[in-house]
Structure 1
């Protein structure tokens, strides 16, 4: 299922990047201290055009030790897939967790499993999770970079260039 997920993501939403923007924790390295307030700039309703369709993400402000989000990709006026998840405060650090769903809301992951992205580092305008990076361009634009595997098992970074929708 993981390979299918990566292939589907790459096919549906992949835009190749030249300079890698995603990072990984090194062996034995732990996530740094961080708070949800430091990443609250992600809050908003975001859209971008990809592969002839529209990607949409909606992020809530911090509440209850998390920022929740929903994502959908629409191609040819039909839902390709959804994601729901959150950035959660875990002790003194953050973790991003998500689950994928087909257009009919049937889940991709096993019932009690999530796709987890540990925090690697942060700076003023970027937050780096393992294989997933948010970059603040300005108040009305963010870029999201995701590392996925293609059919050959090779990792490739894809980018979403979001603009604030509302």
Structure 2
């Protein structure tokens, strides 16, 4: 009888461990490659993303208002054993860093499907959704839990620059 419970426990632990560590690949983010534009807070916003190459990809966002820069964001996405990890740094005009030197924002992979990827901010109950909504449009949305479900609100809507 004890052997039965031991085997049952090992099977359960194995299933739980496989669910606890989602896997994904940097190629799941290929849909955001390119040059994108939109508007945010009354000004233009521009994003450029490289193609996934090897174990990484890189991107940036530039936000402006009244023809002046308001914020730069630099993204580095790297493949790990647990899936892609997004690291983000924010810079004010003059390339003044907002995060501490050794502490970029860090987002771990949650899930991906065709044209969609979700990451969760380390140490915060915040998720970021990258989602292709049309052939030449993708959205970055922020998610928070409400009543036990993740609810996402669009933050940036981008259209591909042709």
Return the match for 2:66 from 70, 76, 82.
76
Secondary structure of the structure 1 residue equivalent to 2:28? helix
Return the match for 2:37 from 37, 41, 47.
47
The structure 1 segments of at least 4 consecutive aligned residues displaced by more than 3 Å after TM superposition are none
Task: Tell whether the 8 Å contact from 2:139 to 2:154 is kept in structure 1 after alignment.
Answer: no
Query: Quick check: 1:143 aligned with 2:139?
Result: yes
Query: Quick check: 1:159 aligned with 2:161?
Result: no
Task: Tell whether the 8 Å contact from 1:31 to 1:119 is kept in structure 2 after alignment.
Answer: no
Task: Tell whether the 8 Å contact from 1:48 to 1:55 is kept in structure 2 after alignment.
Answer: yes
Whole-angstrom distance in 2 between the partners of 1:31 and 1:160: 28
Task: Tell whether the 8 Å contact from 1:69 to 1:85 is kept in structure 2 after alignment.
Answer: yes
Q: Pairwise CA RMSD of aligned residues?
A: 2.0
Secondary structure of the structure 2 residue equivalent to 1:120? strand
Greater CA radius of gyration, 1 or 2?
2
Task: Tell whether the 8 Å contact from 2:21 to 2:82 is kept in structure 1 after alignment.
Answer: no
Q: 1 or 2, which has the higher strand percentage?
A: 2
Deviation at 1:78, TM superposition (A): 0.5
Aligned length: 132
Whole-angstrom distance in 1 between the partners of 2:101 and 2:82: 27
Whole-angstrom distance in 2 between the partners of 1:84 and 1:159: 17
Task: Tell whether the 8 Å contact from 2:36 to 2:46 is kept in structure 1 after alignment.
Answer: yes
Compute the TM-score of the two structures, normalised by the length of structure 1: 0.73
Q: Tell me, which stretches of 5 or more residues in structure 1 are unaligned?
A: 1-28, 149-155
Q: 1 or 2, which has the higher helix percentage?
A: 2
Deviation at 1:136, TM superposition (A): 0.7
Whole-angstrom distance in 2 between the partners of 1:98 and 1:79: 18
